[in-house]
Amino acid sequence: MAGKDKLRKFAEIRTFKNVYSSKNFTEPIVINSEEEELDIRGKWNEHFGNDNPIVLELACGKGHYARGLGQRYPNKNFIGIDLKGNRIWKGASEALDNGEENVAFLRARIEFLERYFAAGEVAEIWVTFADPQYKKPKKRLTHARFLGIYKNILKEGGLVHYKSDSTELYEFTLEVLEEEKIPILYKNADIYASELENPDLEIQTYYERMHLALNKTIKYVRFIP
Ligand SMILES: C[S@@+](CC[C@H](N)C(=O)[O-])C[C@H]1O[C@@H](n2cnc3c(N)ncnc32)[C@H](O)[C@@H]1O
CATH number 3.40.50.150 is the correct assignment for the domain at 2-223:
yes
Of all protein residues, the one whose alpha carbon is nearest to atom 5 of ligand 1 is 61
Q: What is the pLDDT of residue 3?
A: 78
- For ligand 1, whether the C-beta of 18 sits within 6 Å is no
- For ligand 1, whether the C-beta of 129 sits within 6 Å is yes
User: Helix H segments across the chain?
Assistant: 2-13, 44-48, 64-72, 85-97, 113-116, 144-153, 167-179, 206-213
Q: What is the pLDDT of residue 2?
A: 64
CA of 97 to the centre of ligand 1 (A): 23
- For ligand 1, whether the C-beta of 106 sits within 6 Å is no
Q: What is the pTM of this model?
A: 0.97
Q: What is the mean pLDDT of each run of 10 residues along the chain (225 residues)?
A: 78 93 90 95 97 98 98 98 94 97 97 97 98 94 98 98 98 98 98 97 98 98 98
Q: Is 131 a catalytic residue?
A: yes
Q: Which of 51, 131, 165, 190 is catalytic?
A: 131
List the domain boundaries for the chain: 2-223
**pLDDT tens-digit map of 89-139:** 999 999 999 999 999 999 999 999 999 999 999 999 999 999 999 899 999
For 94, other C-beta atoms within 10 Å of its C-beta total 14
